[in-house]
């Protein structure tokens, strides 16, 4: 994964911006335009808001491109581990997220990130907006029959949601989570699932083995 972090300081707080993880969702601009304004230089001016306002806006960033540093402990994950399926775009993860490589080594711990599912990102496993360049099409829905649906399942973030990147293959998801999309009812699950990241599965967002047929590299 590539990293390109810029820091913007104000009294008692510093905003960090990782340019490589930004896919211009613009949630920061919508929530706090006095601070986040692409037409200004620098485009982040944290002196224009209180630390509380800054933290709230930063936590709206779905990719984790924005972080804050202050005297408080590290940003707490949201109460529920969440998998959010975006139409024609990435899979967003929120909560206590731990990304591991195929050897089981932890390569990233975070509370917010966007996973590539078109297969073309140059910053795998993270999304870099390549889906827009290739006009990627994928529904936002999911088949609930592929999940161990239960209203009683605990989806809290006290335990990590483990995202294991299989070499030249799918993303294996282990832990408790809630799946959201605009095309289906939320579903809670603790079932281990495999998410497509080659972009060609006919069962999106789930893997169907197509990565082997097309020689996916990732």
| pLDDT tens-digit series, residues 128-155 | 999 999 999 999 999 988 887 555 556 6
Quote the pLDDT of residue 156. 66
pLDDT of residue 184: 87
Of the candidates 133, 102, 99, 107, the one whose C-alpha atom is nearest the C-alpha of residue 118 is: 133
Contact status, residue 17 vs residue 24, Cβ threshold 8 Å? no
CA angle 55, 61, 65 (to 5 degrees): 100
Domains, the chain: 5-69 (3.30.70.20), 82-214 (no CATH)
Detail the DSSP E strand segments found in the chain.
Answer: 5-10, 13-18, 66-69, 82-85, 91-100, 106-115, 161-165, 171-174, 177-181, 184-189, 193-195
Q: What is the pLDDT along the chain (218 residues), one digit of tens a residue?
A: 899 999 999 999 999 999 999 999 999 999 999 999 999 999 999 999 999 999 999 999 999 999 999 987 789 999 999 999 999 999 999 999 999 999 999 999 999 999 999 999 999 999 999 999 999 999 999 998 888 755 555 666 678 999 999 999 999 999 999 999 998 899 999 999 999 999 999 999 999 999 999 999 98
String of DSSP letters for 21-49: T-----HHHHH-TTTB-TTSSSSB-GGGS
pLDDT for 148: 72
pLDDT at residue number 98: 98
pLDDT tens, position by position, 39-68: 999 999 999 999 999 999 999 999 999 999
SS3 107: strand
């Amino acid at each position: 994964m590539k990293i390109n972090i810029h820091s913007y300081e104000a009294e008692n707080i510093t905003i960090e911006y990782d340019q490589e993880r930004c896919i211009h969702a613009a949630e920061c601009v919508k929530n706090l335009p006095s601070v986040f304004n692409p037409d200004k230089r620098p485009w982040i001016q944290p002196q224009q808001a209180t630390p509380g306002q800054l933290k709230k806006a930063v936590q709206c960033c779905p990719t984790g491109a924005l972080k804050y540093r202050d005297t408080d402990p590290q940003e707490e994950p949201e109460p529920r581990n969440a998998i959010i399926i975006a139409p024609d775009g990435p899979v967003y993860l929120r909560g206590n997220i731990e990304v591991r490589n195929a050897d089981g080594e932890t390569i990233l711990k975070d509370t917010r990130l966007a996973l590539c599912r078109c297969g073309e990102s140059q910053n795998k496993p993270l999304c870099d907006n390549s889906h827009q360049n290739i006009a990627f099409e994928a529904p936002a829905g999911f088949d609930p029959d592929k999940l161990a649906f239960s209203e009683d399942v605990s989806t809290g973030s006290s335990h990590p949601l483990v995202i294991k990147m299989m070499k030249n293959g799918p993303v294996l998801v282990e832990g408790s989570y809630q799946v959201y999309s605009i095309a289906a009812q939320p579903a809670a699950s603790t079932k281990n699932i495999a998410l497509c990241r080659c972009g060609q599965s006919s069962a999106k967002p789930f893997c169907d083995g197509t990565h082997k047929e097309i020689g996916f590299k990732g």
